[in-house]
Amino acid sequence: MEKIMIVEDDIKIAEYLSSYIEKYGYQVMIAKDFHHILATFREVQPKLLLLDINLPSYDGYYWCRQIRKESICPVIFISARTGEMDQVMALDNGGDDFITKPFHPDIVMAKIRSQLRRAYGEYAAKVEERVLTQDGLSLYPERLELRFKNEVALLTKNETDIMESLLERYPRIAGRQDLLEKIWDAQSYVDENTLNVNIARVRKKFEELGIEDAVETVRGAGYRLRITWNEEEA
């Protein structure tokens, strides 16, 4: 029986969801200690997590980031927040889907079944977890992690997409237009500086790992990965 964990501080909503989901044969665990969500997650080892954003102490974004350090378990955010940026932040912080309150329980069940199929069932990848490597640098796209030596940098979804393009294209240039199309469905939602901001964040992630000048700007074309860490060791 597949376990589903609910992190929701409104006990009526949590119990309503639990009762409805259990009708479909799932085992449901409702978190009660909102200060130790990660510890509870480790103990329960759920197949899927329903996570509210507004929680006591730390918010759902924080807990999703902590969980993403060690698990690719599907996370569906459920929140009364309806703004587009809230949904963007949910995905950028490691979430897989977003449901707004008030919700219809059938929609919740459909999304749960969809995420479980993608992660473990008929749509799940039949290969091992993807890892992109280059000269000792390793990107784990599904974990939103960049690793170098014994250090780990946690990434947002946008940062992961940019790094994935840089690694896949190396030593070629990752075009500016290609990066925009990979990250956003439509350029109309961003201004011309948005990619520059995200590239700056990617550079900071490299710096967290002790790597300087890893992203080269190619004027009029895009960006290219530079293997500067081997140059320093040479």
Task: Quote the pLDDT of residue 83.
Answer: 76
Of 3.10.310.30, 1.10.760.10, 3.40.50.2300, 2.60.120.260, the CATH number of 3-120 is: 3.40.50.2300
Task: Quote the pLDDT of residue 217.
Answer: 94
CA distance 10 to 169: 47
Between helix 60-68 and helix 37-44 the angle, nearest 10°, is 50
Q: Where are the domains of the chain?
A: 3-120, 132-233
Helix %, strand %, coil % for the chain, to 5? 40, 20, 35
Summarised one tens digit per residue, pLDDT across range 155-210 is 888 888 899 999 999 999 999 888 887 776 434 455 557 788 889 999 999 999 99
3-state secondary structure (DSSP) of residue 216? strand
Exposure of 226 in the CB half-sphere (CA atoms within 13 A): 13
Q: Which of 68, 69, 89, 70 is nearest to 79 (CA)?
A: 89
Task: Quote the pLDDT of residue 57.
Answer: 84
Task: Give residue 231's pLDDT band: very low, low, confident or very high (50, 70, 90).
Answer: low
Per residue, the 3-state secondary structure of 173-206, as one string, reads CEEHHHHHHHHCCCHHHCCCCHHHHHHHHHHHHH
Domain covering 132-233, topology: Arc Repressor Mutant, subunit A (1.10.10)
Range among 26-30, 64-68, 195-199 rated most confident = 26-30
For residue 173, give the amino acid letter.
Answer: I
Q: Which residue has the higher pLDDT, 130 or 189?
A: 130
User: Is pLDDT above 60 for 233?
Assistant: no
Q: How does the average pLDDT of the chain come out, rounded? A: 87
